[in-house]
Structure 1
Amino acid sequence: MKNKILTISYVLVFFTSIIFSSCNDYLGVLPKGAKIPTKLADYEAFIRDEYSNQRVDVTQTSILLNDRNLTSSDLSYYPLWKANYMWDESANRVTLNNSDEGCYYISYAAISTCNLIIENAPTATQCTETERNTLIAQAKVLRAMSYFNLVNYYANVYDESSASTKLSVPLISSAVINAPYKQVTIQEIYDDMLKSVEDALVNLPDVSATVLHPNKATAYAFLARCYLQMGKYSNALANAELALQVKSTLFDWTAYYASNKAQIENPNSYVKTVSPMGFNSVENYNFRHGERSYATSERNIPVARAASFEPGDARFASRWKLRTVGSDTYYTSTLTGFFNYGGLTTTEVYLIKAECLARTGKVQEAMDALNAVRIKRILPAVYQPLVTTDAVTALKYIIKTKANELIMTVMPFADTRRWNKEANLARTFTKVVGGTTYSLSPTSHLWTMPFPKGATDNNGNGSITQNVDK
């Protein structure tokens, strides 16, 4: 998609020195060389700016889950990484998180851009009213997606009984420099996300200009994700069905495996094949990068984590291969290109549908939705449909599949926090390192990430209260 979507960066001098200055003396003074956006195309270009506005950095979630392999040098160099990776509840992560931690700053940069579009596009020129409304609606969806990542990273998991009293994250609705803001409750941030996207729906197109631009199906998929996180299963299911009515195609990883079988099955070759998870994937509702926006490989994963994938999983085998380098053994990435770690896909929506059906007593339909995904992943010689009539067993099948399918995204972390509230689904993570057993309990405070110290110490025109003690 890089050859189709240009990465465009604009220096918005006017935000900091002209239009949004608190000093009236500077109003109307245009610095030499500065450009004030006026055309709708100028604002639309911000959505195409993949480095600044389409990245989703949730590094610490993958580290806490041990989905990402860390070397001894990683553990030595990054104390915050070590605290999460080794499940060290004694570590003061508030103090350790003293740098510009990516999830916070990248997410709020994208939110600021969305606010800029929402505030200024109504007066943009060289466009129709429909085009203005479409761009504003798309910015509202992207802003809500960024807030979802933030609230499921820095705040407690949504619980209806406490959501109206527990704090979440700063809700910033203006791009004005030093605009006042409030750290709202968990309920308020979810209400804001839902209202923004539901209001946007009427102005979203059926087909977007690019996969970076949300459309109606993207909004339905996000609403399904959001309602699921809130435990509102009927709403989540209804939106999942609407998204799947628009797009329901699943990528066939068994066919990909067959096409690249010689390379994949050669244990001594680590030549990389091209990622089918990029901009043009048939599964994309919309595309957002992970922590990086340039073509690269996936992160390596630990041997213990690899063991949780199903036998015959062509998706796993196509992405990672066992490797030993010196004293380290891990599964190394075997794909190169782009990866949709931050957007929404048909795979996720099928699995949302499956969980909602299981939770509403429609177990056979839930298993049908789950197996629709699995048959595209498990090699034909190994594949057998999963069968059960028990809702809890069905949920456990869905949980395992979803954690594997959405690895390296925020969802395994967000989902695990949600499942940890339920006694029959909660999980204690364990591992043995150097003869010592480590564990991560479902009630550990490590399941909430601390705000970066830079944000709490320099909180601008508002205040931020840490949601976790350490």
Structure 2
Amino acid sequence: MKVIHTLCLPIVLWMFFSSCSKERLELKPNSSIVTLSTVEDLQHLLDNAQVTNVTGALSQLSSDEYFIVDDKAFDGLNRQTQRNAYVWAPDLYEGEEEPSWNNLYTAVFYANSVLDAMEAKDFDHSDREAENNLKGSALFIRAYSFHDLVRSFAPVYNTSTAARDLGIPLRLSSGIDEIKPRASVDESYRQILADLSVARGLLTNDTSPIYKNRPSLASVFALYARVYLDMGDYLLAGRYADSCLMINHELIDYNTIDIASQYPFHDTGSEVIYFSEQINAYTTGYTNRYQGTFGMDSLLVSLYASNDLRLPIFFERNSLGNYSIKRGYTRGLYAFTGLAWDEVLLIKAECAARLRDVESAEQLLNELLQKRYRRGTFTLPVFNNADELLTYVLTERRKELVWRGLRWQDIKRLNREGRNIQLSRVIKGQTYTLQPNDPRYVFPIPDNEISLSGIEQNRR
């Protein structure tokens, strides 16, 4: 992935980090030294992928895709937050700083800084097409970051309670001295959808492999589909997934992949629509690096048939006899969490199954799975009814989208409809369980944010 890192950030970064200190809130930087006034300047700002192309880590730490191999490995984790997230402890942070919140709001700040700069009187409006793309990109990044935040720090969207459930602060400007209260879950989702609505009219459908870190019209449709799936609006989720797939949906034939490779894919792979990865903050890298710490959940691994190429491409046996996960659609150490054609196709298949469009769902499954199984070995089962088909789609979703930071939210939304997924861990002889719809599915807001802003904390 080609990433351009800007050197023109001192005043922007000073403004952001000063917001973390009450003593500095009264300091007013001299606006005359701000030099970000052209599309090129501001594009460099958004191209800082280590800021704008990241998602949080808490959902990966807490999900059921992996296990910690023993008590010694548990004690050896580098942060108390990670140990607490593994057993869903009510006091998650114990005074530690938690970057999932801060890093995502840094991305929001970058996006807002670009949007505000474009409204300044000295902004160069000479290239309207590039300007539209820049504004659409900033709005998409803000929507993408808000969505990741609301998934982690707010309850799952429920039509009967969303208007009163607490969502996230919706920071819509780069001002450093504006403290926003928490919006409702419904307001949070409406803002995400509003940003996407504007971005949709500004971005092109360019999905160039060189710039997978930059938003496109396809990424807007893909994020729409992901958001509406979370909301339980399967009609709209399916429609936006279809709009995305109509642009292009080149699937990788796994029969062409080297199953022995530690790096089966790369950042600019043909299935990637928009690249993001999990923040580098915890011991959550690809588990072949941490085989003495992690193993992949045995129930998950057992879901793959012997002729399913995802088994050897996604996983490998390690020296402890467990399975480790290889790198997915990235060459980096941390999980790919972006948008890809296979996810969009599975969203459309799930929505078709839920809406009793059996023929469409089966067609989509065949299209995907013919390229996931050894050539000539896959035959779609015969389903007695749409419910059996839906269960099959959800199983394929779990198998296909493993280690992408999606499982935690899937558990939340599936338990909303009564799937009754219960999680369990055993550490030091003690069994920890997480019941369906437990308040601990909503992570607490970091302590330093509560101290600074005074916003209401989540109850666990």
Give the shorter-chain TM-score range: 0.7 to 0.9
Higher mean Cα deviation, 352-361 or 431-440? 431-440
Q: Any residues of structure 2 matched to 1:334-349 within 5 Å, and which?
A: 334-335=326-327, 337-338=331-332, 341-349=336-344
SS of residue matched to 1:378: coil
In 1, distance between residues paired with 2:12 and 2:376? 61
Higher mean Cα deviation, 198-207 or 309-318? 309-318
Match of 1:383 in 2: 378
Q: Any residues of structure 2 matched to 1:41-440 within 5 Å, and which?
A: 41-58=40-57, 60-71=58-69, 72-76=71-75, 77=77, 78-87=79-88, 91-94=89-92, 96-123=93-120, 124-125=123-124, 127-207=126-206, 210-256=211-257, 260-261=258-259, 264=260, 272-276=261-265, 278-292=266-280, 298-300=286-288, 301-304=295-298, 305-325=300-320, 329-335=321-327, 337-338=331-332, 341-380=336-375, 382-423=377-418, 425-430=419-424, 438-440=432-434
How far did residue 281 of structure 1 move?
1.1
In 2, distance between residues paired with 1:74 and 1:127? 57
Match of 1:465 in 2: 456
Counterpart residue type for residue 313 of structure 1: D
In 2, distance between residues paired with 1:428 and 1:24? 50
SS of residue matched to 2:68: coil
Change (3 A) 1:447 1:26: closer
**Is residue 15–residue 176 contact of structure 1 (8 Å, CA) maintained in 2?**
no
Deviations 1:165-206 (A, max 9, x none): 011111111112122312100000000011110122111112
**Is residue 55–residue 292 contact of structure 1 (8 Å, CA) maintained in 2?**
no
How far did residue 98 of structure 1 move?
2.6
How far did residue 116 of structure 1 move?
0.8
In 2, distance between residues paired with 1:7 and 1:288? 16
SS of residue matched to 1:439: strand
Counterpart residue type for residue 235 of structure 1: L
Higher mean Cα deviation, 78-87 or 201-210? 78-87
In 2, distance between residues paired with 1:390 and 1:107? 42
**Is residue 213–residue 274 contact of structure 2 (8 Å, CA) maintained in 1?**
yes
Counterpart residue type for residue 448 of structure 1: V
Higher mean Cα deviation, 139-148 or 310-319? 310-319
How far did residue 40 of structure 1 move?
1.3
Counterpart residue type for residue 74 of structure 2: L
Counterpart residue type for residue 415 of structure 2: N
Counterpart residue type for residue 51 of structure 2: S
In 2, distance between residues paired with 1:439 and 1:202? 46
In 1, distance between residues paired with 2:366 and 2:96? 43
**Is residue 225–residue 347 contact of structure 2 (8 Å, CA) maintained in 1?**
yes
**Is residue 55–residue 104 contact of structure 2 (8 Å, CA) maintained in 1?**
yes
**Is residue 363–residue 389 contact of structure 1 (8 Å, CA) maintained in 2?**
no
**Is residue 56–residue 341 contact of structure 1 (8 Å, CA) maintained in 2?**
no
Q: Residue 456 in 1 paired to residue 444 in 2?
A: no
Counterpart residue type for residue 466 of structure 1: Q
Higher mean Cα deviation, 280-289 or 336-345? 336-345
Q: Residue 27 in 1 paired to residue 30 in 2?
A: yes
**Is residue 14–residue 36 contact of structure 1 (8 Å, CA) maintained in 2?**
no
How far did residue 223 of structure 1 move?
0.7
Higher mean Cα deviation, 67-76 or 445-454? 67-76
**Is residue 8–residue 36 contact of structure 2 (8 Å, CA) maintained in 1?**
no
SS of residue matched to 1:371: helix
How far did residue 467 of structure 1 move?
2.0
Change (3 A) 1:106 1:309: farther
SS of residue matched to 1:176: coil
Paired-residue identity, %: 22
SS of residue matched to 2:131: helix
Structure-1-length-normalised TM-score: 0.84
How far did residue 28 of structure 1 move?
5.1
Change (3 A) 1:445 1:147: same
In 1, distance between residues paired with 2:246 and 2:68? 41
How far did residue 212 of structure 1 move?
1.5
Change (3 A) 1:10 1:69: farther
Change (3 A) 1:466 1:316: farther
Change (3 A) 1:14 1:166: closer
Higher mean Cα deviation, 177-186 or 312-321? 312-321
Deviations 1:206-235 (A, max 9, x none): 215621111111111111111111111111
Higher mean Cα deviation, 116-125 or 218-227? 116-125
In 1, distance between residues paired with 2:428 and 2:280? 33
Counterpart residue type for residue 409 of structure 1: R
**Is residue 69–residue 299 contact of structure 1 (8 Å, CA) maintained in 2?**
no
Match of 2:291 in 1: none
Tell me the matched-pair count.
Answer: 436
**Is residue 304–residue 310 contact of structure 2 (8 Å, CA) maintained in 1?**
no
**Is residue 55–residue 288 contact of structure 1 (8 Å, CA) maintained in 2?**
yes
In 2, distance between residues paired with 1:170 and 1:221? 24
**Is residue 87–residue 425 contact of structure 2 (8 Å, CA) maintained in 1?**
no
In 2, distance between residues paired with 1:28 and 1:236? 43
Deviations 1:288-340 (A, max 9, x none): 122249xx962354252423334333123113211124xxx432344471477
Counterpart residue type for residue 106 of structure 1: N
Counterpart residue type for residue 217 of structure 2: K
Counterpart residue type for residue 153 of structure 1: S
In 2, distance between residues paired with 1:26 and 1:7? 23
How far did residue 351 of structure 1 move?
0.8
Match of 2:4 in 1: 6
**Is residue 364–residue 388 contact of structure 1 (8 Å, CA) maintained in 2?**
no
Structure 2 stretches lacking a partner, 5+ long: 289-294
